[in-house]
Amino acid sequence: MATGTDLRHRLPDVTAPTLVLHRRNCLNVDAGHATYLAANLPRARLQTVAGTDALWFTDTGDLLRHAVDFLAR
């Protein structure tokens, strides 16, 4: 269901600052998705990190650092 739902038309309605994280060499999520989100969410920032997977709990050092920096602003 999640992959069959298209909510792109709702992205402009998001008012919260948004951090979009993406691993540069991700094997299962195309970088274009992250780029699109960052370009179409009104207050988004894209941050890419090293890695090849889309799992947030692996190699968390960079992800955590970027999340903390984002929240501290």
What pLDDT digit, counting tens, does each position of 11-60 carry? 999 999 999 999 988 888 889 999 999 999 999 999 999 888 877 767 77
Alpha-carbon distance of 24 to 34, in angstroms, equals 10
| Cα dihedral across residues 64, 66, 71, 73: positive or negative | positive
For residue 20, what pLDDT is reported?
A: 96
Q: What is the pTM of this model?
A: 0.82
pLDDT band at 4 (very low <50, low <70, confident <90, very high): confident
Which residue has better confidence, 61 or 42?
A: 42
For residue 47, what pLDDT is reported?
A: 95
